[in-house]
Amino acid sequence: MRTQVAIIGAGPAGLLLGQLLHKHGIDNVILERQTGEYVLSRIRAGVIEKVCIDLIDEAGVGARMHQDGLIHDGVQICVDGVRHRISFKDLTGKSVMVYGQTEITKDLMDGRAAIGAPTVYAAYDVALHNIFGETPHVTYRADGKNHELQCDFIAGCDGFHGISRKSVPPNAITAHERVYPLGWLGVLSDTPPVSEELIYVHHPLGFALCSMRSPTRSRYYIQCSLAEDVEAWPDERFWEELKPRLDDEARERLVTGPSIEKSIAPLRSFVAEPMRFGRLFLAGDAAHIVPPTGAKGLNLAASDVRYLSHAFIEHYKEKSNAGLDRYSERALARVWKAERFSWWMTMLLHKISDNTFEQKMQLAELDYLFRSKAASTAFAENYVGLPY
Ligand code: FAD
Ligand code: PHB
């Protein structure tokens, strides 16, 4: 089999890239390790920036997102039981949208099925060959047979644990990492959200987040230790941990119910540089991870895909490699700013240690954030997404 761009991974980055390339007549094949059902069962991002919305529109699959997505003009931060609102709209003129990653993935999968572009699910033992040569190819096993896919380029969109980044010689890549000593325990439930806007909670017991997927579906998170086992968290225990962290109004409005998903995500900051190795280009979580506090992971995957799809289009349509040559530098410039914001929000809102000096620093910074228009504006600019 031969294609122009072999895409590894059918997460949002791979599916979005495939759709955009196809729109411009560029052939691509996606190889995904899991089944489609499994990919759709992973509950992850909820908040998307304008960049992501625009790209989903450009890919031609935005109809359901515009119908069901919730526009949020601001966010709330609760400290010591008192809520403070930061208005994105007033401070930046922009908003974000709440529309689940699962729904985006479904829209992209349906879009791909409608155009008949090939995706191989349950593709095992994917291996990348000759990435620094003229004729790269990918081998894999599917339906009990061995396959070889020849291509011009490989797009590594296979997430943090994927094979693409690991296929690069160690001396060609530099990793920068910070692992936080905590995770997020998340619950999805078919209960109405406590508030119309997201509430990020700073509390002596630890961080909490009240988010949502729709007016009838809530998503809550609480900070937990990395040693926690999700099995040790029956629903009742989760709600009892969440309640004392909320302000009075949110606690009164909280409707508890059975969870329809419950999982623990470790918090990590990670960037691998560069993002291009010969004919292999990394995009999304394959190249970088942010802790979820700033809601930036999926949005960064989308901005990588924007740069990369334009670069491939330039290569095939205008016979120019300028975009491909600049891809890594341009993508990383945006990645590092989102890394900074996600790290800063994580350090500001979580109970990282019992050190009272650090806790006082957090409270002083939060007070400054609420009182200073300059500080609130900086927060809002980063949350809605920095320009290209
Ligand atoms: P992935 O979604 O990880 O997709 C990679 C795909 O590659 C997977 O389908 C995987 O099965 C496949 N794969 C892996 N290895 C191989 C292999 N060897 N061969 C073939 N296929 C392979 N981001 C936001 O922007 N906003 C938010 O509000 C937000 N909230 C989050 C909340 C939580 C709890 C978590 C965990 C994450 C959150 N994120 C958020 C981050 C976001 O979910 C990720 O950044 C996003 O999924 C990255 O997309 P991706 O396509 O790069 O990688
Ligand atoms: C979510 O709704 O899953 C969500 C929202 C905001 C975040 C992280 C996750 O910062």
Q: Is 162 helix (H, G, I), strand (E, B) or coil?
A: coil
Does the pLDDT value for residue 48 go beyond 90?
yes
**To 10 degrees, the CA torsion angle through 54, 384, 194, 40?**
40
User: Which pTM was predicted?
Assistant: 0.97
Mean pLDDT, to the nearest integer, of 66-90? 97
Does the pLDDT value for residue 110 go beyond 90?
yes
Inter-residue contact 231 to 238 (CB < 8 Å): no
296 in catalytic set: yes
Mean pLDDT, to the nearest integer, of 95-108? 97
Q: What is the pLDDT of residues 186-215, one digit of tens each?
A: 999 999 999 999 999 999 999 999 999 999
Q: Which pLDDT score, from 0 to 100, does residue 388 have?
A: 80
What is d(CA 119, CA 113) in angstroms, rounded to the nearest whole number? 9
What is d(CA 307, CA 283) in angstroms, rounded to the nearest whole number? 10
Q: Is 144 helix (H, G, I), strand (E, B) or coil?
A: coil
Ligand closest in space to the Cα of 127: 1
Of the pLDDT bands very low, low, confident and very high (cuts 50, 70, 90), residue 51 is confident
Q: Who contacts 294 (Cβ-Cβ below 8 Å, separation ≥6)?
A: 338, 341, 342, 344, 345, 346, 382, 383
For the chain, give the percent of residues with pLDDT over 90.
97
145 in catalytic set: no
H or E element at residue 237: helix 235-242
Angle at CA 49, nearest 5°, toward 203 and 177? 60
Considering only CA atoms, which of 97, 9, 4 is closest in space to residue 55?
A: 97
Q: Which pLDDT score, from 0 to 100, does residue 378 have?
A: 98
Q: Where are the alpha helices (DSSP H) in 319-355?
A: 322-349
| Residue 242 CB-density burial (10 A; 0-12 exposed, 13-18 middle, 19+ buried) | buried
What distance in angstroms lies between residue 102's CA and the mean position of ligand 1's atoms? Answer: 11
Q: Which residues pair with 96 in a beta bridge?
A: 72
Q: Which pLDDT score, from 0 to 100, does residue 26 have?
A: 98
Average pLDDT taken over every residue of the chain: 97
Choice from 105, 188, 201, 221 to test ligand 2 binding pocket (greatest atom count within 8 A of CB):
221
Mean pLDDT, to the nearest integer, of 100-107? 96
Inter-residue contact 299 to 290 (CB < 8 Å): no
Q: Which residues pair with 261 in a beta bridge?
A: 188
Q: Which pLDDT score, from 0 to 100, does residue 333 have?
A: 97
Of the pLDDT bands very low, low, confident and very high (cuts 50, 70, 90), residue 115 is very high
